[in-house]
Amino acid sequence: MSDVCCWGISREWTHSPHREFDDAEILRLTAKHLEAMGFLVSLLSPEAVAEAGQQVPPSIFLMCERRQILRRLRRWEVGGVRLVNAPSAVLNTYRRRMLLLFKKEAIPFPPSIVVPTHRPGYHSLWPVWVKRADVHNTQDGDVVFALTEDALHGALRALAQRGIRHAVLQKHIAGDLIKFYGVGDPARLQGRTPWFRWFYHRHQALAGHPFDPGLLATLAQQAAAALGLEVYGGDAIASEGGGLVLIDLNAWPSFALYREEASAQIASYLQQRFTRGG
């Protein structure tokens, strides 16, 4: 295939609860901007990728998250295909992996432990969030706030009944919930500043804790680098006294509040990455 050909792979519908339209739109708009730059873009579903033959383009941008598809993409990457985000980076957002990498890189993160869903044992992280230990939120019950032992055991039991073998118990951190989006690996930008935006989550009573937005951007970029992400979004808590704690990081979110701006930024970044030597 020509060097200007590329694929965009959508997120699995089961991984986009209540975000199906938003996820599809950020991919479509990114493709539109790339086409304006001269790329020939085909948008594919993960199922179509699973059935793809040997004619693979030199570059792929992706939102898919299932292990089976990522393993196939990884084989193509080893063969020389450029991928953003890299399959390994997407797998690193699986919470069990993420905890280890954040600990290794000293990323500020709430106290968290991995427990088997069928046998939780004792812990002292009250109050606690119960989160499946692999992919992010796919349906109700994947992330549950538990204030009591009964609530904790009920959340774990529900995960176990769905065949999810492990969960992460994450201590609740009080403060203002901040959501953020980022595009660009600083190591690849040759001195240019990565694109970054943040905003307060809407459904909360803000305390108005002061914090340094520049420090938030630095924290997000360090966390993304720890996982290998180039297009990402996440959540952080600004606590009393100005401290910042990261509580989640995702590969290629929907960018819903900044979709037009973000899609142009992503396309510009992909143009650099997909150009030889980029």
User: pLDDT tens, 205-236?
Assistant: 999 999 999 999 999 999 999 999 999 999 99
Band of pLDDT at residue 204, cut at 50, 70 and 90: very high
Using DSSP bridges, classify how beta strands 112-116 and 166-171 pair: parallel, antiparallel or unpaired.
antiparallel
Res 77: pLDDT: 97
Instruction: Give residues with Cβ within 8 angstroms of 10, minimum separation 6.
Output: 23, 24, 27, 43, 44, 45, 46, 63, 64
Band of pLDDT at residue 277, cut at 50, 70 and 90: low
Band of pLDDT at residue 98, cut at 50, 70 and 90: very high
What sign for the dihedral angle of Cα 92, 194, 110, 206?
negative
> Among the residues of 139-256, which ranges form H helices?
149-161, 213-227
Res 242: pLDDT: 85
What number is the average pLDDT over the span 38-47?
96
pLDDT higher than threshold 80 for residue 35: yes
What number is the average pLDDT over the span 105-113?
96
Band of pLDDT at residue 23, cut at 50, 70 and 90: very high
Q: How far apart are CA 23 and CA 91, in angstroms?
A: 19
**127: its two tokens:** 């109050």
| Eight-class DSSP state of 96 | H
Q: How far apart are CA 268 and CA 137, in angstroms?
A: 29
> Among the residues of 67-185, which ranges form H helices?
67-78, 87-92, 95-104, 149-161
Helix (H, G, I), strand (E, B) or coil at 110: coil
Res 2: pLDDT: 66
**189: its two tokens:** 């930008």
Band of pLDDT at residue 45, cut at 50, 70 and 90: very high
Band of pLDDT at residue 136, cut at 50, 70 and 90: confident
Q: How far apart are CA 247 and CA 258, in angstroms?
A: 21
What number is the average pLDDT over the span 151-168?
94
- Distance spanning both ends of the chain, measured CA to CA: 18
Length of the chain in residues, anyone? Answer: 278
Q: How far apart are CA 190 and CA 10, in angstroms?
A: 29
Question: pTM for this one?
Answer: 0.95
Q: What angle do CA 258, 245, 207 make, to 5 degrees?
A: 75
Q: How far apart are CA 115 and CA 127, in angstroms?
A: 16
pLDDT higher than threshold 70 for residue 278: no
